[in-house]
């Protein structure tokens, strides 16, 4: 009996100590943990369909219906009282911005774009508020090699996280909140976009440079692909049919400065800061201040330089002369391209005798711009703008449409920011009557009309009133397209128009780039 009692005491002691050990270990790791929590994942899904899809944030995004979380492959982590659920994000159009792309071989660029991840993160703050963020993880080549070109098991905020690359945090509508550089799982630098989009060929002479403050300037270029997916209920099943990764032609410069911030998983306030949630009392947390608005003149300068350079080329002067020498009662068009040796070429001239046969030669090898005349005193029209955008969306290097008017004025519509252009045309698609040229939708149509009429009443000619009205609406509606005009010295400059209201009267004045 005594022996049995002793055995019972030993068993009790053993299990008691085991329980204490388990409790101790569990208590040590409960600040940051990474595990699969199906309840929170299903809760996030329920919230996505029940609340988020009805919200203005989802409804007003041009990307709505074009991306969907992969609900089966979520991860869950908890930091303090904050819960974070992350799912892979399936998108019809995938785009990643790759640093120093011109230094990389085609194969390396493809491996990085293939290996990059888009994810959607649902963050439930301590007060129950839900926030949605889209995160791009763009790995560095050496990290990708280390991981066997597959980083799909990446989980930030865990000890296993050794990610090296860029982490871009965006709102659901694609607005970038922050750019960070991570090395071996630690945030080492924060990035700021220093210049707006430039077209290929107008970028930094070197892809990475350091400035005097020790910050790193990096050239970034965007690549995209479209993938076909079958929609089955609340899931998208990839068909494997994807277009190859292609450059969008959109490049810019980002400045990376240290030191880095706190790391994922370190504290609640840090998570607030990293996800740009605007938490109160978050130890310096809160939504990153928006970058200063880009200067419209600086933005358009590379495009203006490229157009000036084209206008000095013999292919251009010959083309212009041919167009001006032809019957001036109808429109004539010539397309410019680049041959294998990098020389500018000009297509033969096409002429249009009615609105139905006004075609532009878009298949000219290396096509990047075109020139046509207007028989009347009209600068580039809304039809010219939507026509250029349609071409540009299929041929990203084709970004310029030049127009010559009867008085010899030469204008150019130039795509300066493809992302803005895409947003613009999806928000304000063209309006078309029969086979007549497309026009702006309301209210741009009305704003253009009002500005033109007011400018005419201020004494400007029809041509100048139209050019100023066009410049005004392109700016006002953040179109991503600049209207340039050649000055007396042969240089193309961006036209800008400002609206002034005083004493109940609205007037317009030039604010052109110099």
Partner 1 sequence: MKKIIKFLPVFMLLIINNSYSQQIMKTVNDAEKIKSNEQLFVNKPLKTLLKEIGPEIKMVTANPSKSSNSRLGYFTFRFVDTKKYDSCRQKNKYPKQITVFVKESFEWDVNSSKKSKWTNSDLVKYGELTVVGIRVFGESINY
- Of 272 and 385, the one with the shorter C-beta distance to partner 1 is 385
Query: Of these, 127, 212, 501, 514, which contacts partner 1 (CB under 8 A)?
Result: 501
Q: List Cβ neighbours of 43 (8 Å cut-off, separation of 6 or more).
A: 85
Q: Does residue 466 sit in helix, strand or coil?
A: helix
Query: CB of 329: closest distance to partner 1 in angstroms?
Result: 9
Contact between 315 and partner 1 by CB under 8 A: the answer reads no
* Residue 416 or 451 with smaller CB distance to partner 1: 451
Q: Which two tokens stand for residue 115?
A: 């290996």
Among residues 263, 271, 331, 475, the one that binds partner 1 under rule CB under 8 A: 331
Distance CA 139, CA 153 (A): 13
User: Using CB under 8 A as the criterion, what x/- string covers residues 342-381 for binding partner 1?
Assistant: ----------x-xx--x---------------xxxxx--x
Nearer to partner 1, 363 or 376 (CB): 376
Give CA 314 to chain center in angstroms: 35
Block residue for tokens 């129950």: 128
Q: What does the alpha-carbon distance between residue 400 and residue 396 come to, in Å, rounded to a whole number?
A: 10
Q: How far is the CB of 32 from partner 1 (least distance, A)?
A: 49
Inter-axis angle of helices 296-311 and 314-325, to 10 degrees? 80
Question: What 3-state DSSP class applies to 381?
Answer: coil
- 439 interacts with partner 1 by CB under 8 A: yes
Is residue 337 within 8 Å of residue 367, measured between CB atoms? yes
Which of 433, 416, 432, 434 minimizes the C-alpha distance to 424? 416
Residue 160 makes contact with partner 1 by CB under 8 A = no
- Residue 493 half-sphere exposure, CB side, CA atoms within 13 Å? 14
**446 contacts partner 1 (rule: CB under 8 A):** yes
Total chain residues near partner 1 (CB under 8 A): 35
Site for partner 1 in 447-466 (CB under 8 A): 449-450, 452-453, 456-457, 462
433 touching partner 1, by CB under 8 A: yes
Q: Does 427 engage in binding with partner 1 (CB under 8 A)?
A: no
The CA–CA distances, whole Å, from 69 to 86, 89, 90, 175, 424 equal 9, 4, 6, 18, 26
Tokens of 259: 């030191």
Cβ closest to partner 1, residue 260 vs residue 443: 443
Alpha helices (H) in 54-158, listed in sequence order: 56-59, 106-115, 141-146
Of 294 and 383, nearer to partner 1 (C-beta) is: 383
| Binds partner 1 by CB under 8 A, chosen from 171, 229, 383, 498 | 383
Query: If binding is defined by CB under 8 A, does position 296 make contact with partner 1?
Result: no
434 is a site residue for partner 1 (CB under 8 A) = yes
The secondary structure element, H or E, covering residue 446 is helix 444-457
33 forms part of the interface with partner 1 (CB under 8 A): no
Nearest-approach distance from CB 318 to partner 1, in angstroms:
24
Binding site for partner 1 (CB under 8 A): 330-331, 352, 354-355, 358, 374-378, 381-383, 431, 433-434, 436-437, 439, 442-443, 445-446, 449-450, 452-453, 456-457, 462, 501, 504-506
């Amino acid at each position: 009996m005594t022996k049995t009692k002793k055995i019972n005491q030993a068993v009790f002691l053993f299990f008691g100590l085991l329980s204490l050990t388990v409790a101790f270990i569990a208590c040590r790791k409960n600040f940051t943990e990474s595990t699969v929590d199906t309840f929170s994942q299903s809760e996030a899904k329920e919230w996505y369909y029940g609340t988020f899809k009805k919200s203005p944030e989802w409804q007003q995004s041009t990307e709505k219906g074009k991306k969907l979380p992969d609900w089966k492959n979520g991860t869950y982590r908890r930091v303090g009282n904050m819960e974070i659920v992350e799912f892979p994000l399936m998108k019809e159009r995938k785009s990643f911005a790759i640093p120093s792309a011109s230094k990389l071989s085609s194969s390396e660029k493809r491996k990085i774009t293939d290996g990059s991840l888009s994810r959607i993160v649902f963050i439930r703050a301590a007060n129950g508020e839900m926030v949605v963020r889209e995160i791009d993880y763009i790995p560095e080549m050496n990290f990708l090699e280390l991981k066997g070109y597959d980083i799909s098991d990446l989980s930030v905020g865990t000890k296993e996280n050794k990610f090296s690359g860029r982490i871009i945090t965006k709102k659901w509508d694609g607005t970038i909140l922050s750019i960070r550089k991570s090395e071996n799982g630690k945030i080492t630098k924060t990035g700021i976009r220093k210049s707006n989009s430039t077209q290929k060929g107008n970028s930094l002479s070197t892809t990475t440079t350091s400035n005097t403050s020790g910050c790193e300037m990096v050239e970034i270029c965007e690549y995209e692909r479209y993938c076909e997916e079958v929609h089955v209920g609340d899931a998208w099943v990839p068909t494997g049919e994807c277009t190859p990764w292609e450059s969008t032609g959109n490049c810019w410069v980002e400045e990376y400065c240290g030191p880095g911030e706190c790391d994922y998983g370190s504290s609640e306030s840090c998570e607030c800061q990293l996800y740009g949630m605007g938490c109160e009392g978050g130890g310096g947390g809160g939504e990153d201040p928006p970058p200063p608005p880009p200067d419209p003149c600086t933005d358009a300068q590379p495009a203006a330089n490229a157009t000036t350079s084209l206008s000095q080329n013999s292919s251009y002067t010959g083309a212009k002369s041919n167009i001006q020498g032809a019957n001036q009662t109808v429109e004539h068009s010539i397309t410019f391209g680049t041959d294998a040796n990098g020389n500018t070429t000009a297509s033969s001239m096409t002429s249009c005798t009615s609105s139905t046969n006004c075609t532009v030669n878009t298949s000219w090898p290396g096509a990047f711009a075109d020139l046509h005349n207007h028989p009347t005193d009209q600068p580039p029209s809304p039809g010219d703008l939507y026509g250029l955008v349609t071409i540009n969306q299929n041929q990203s290097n084709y970004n310029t449409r030049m127009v010559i008017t009867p008085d010899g004025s030469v204008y150019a519509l130039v795509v300066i920011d493809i992302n803005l252009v895409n947003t613009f045309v999806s928000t304000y698609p063209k309006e078309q009557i029969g086979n007549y040229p497309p026009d702006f939708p309301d209210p741009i149509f009305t704003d253009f009309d009002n500005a033109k009429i007011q400018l005419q009443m201020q004494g400007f000619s029809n041509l100048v009133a139209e050019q100023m009205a066009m410049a005004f609406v392109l700016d006002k509606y953040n179109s991503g397209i600049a209207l340039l005009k050649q000055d007396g010295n042969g240089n193309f400059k961006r036209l800008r128009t400002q609206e002034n209201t005083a004493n109940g009267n609205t007037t317009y004045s030039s604010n052109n780039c110099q």
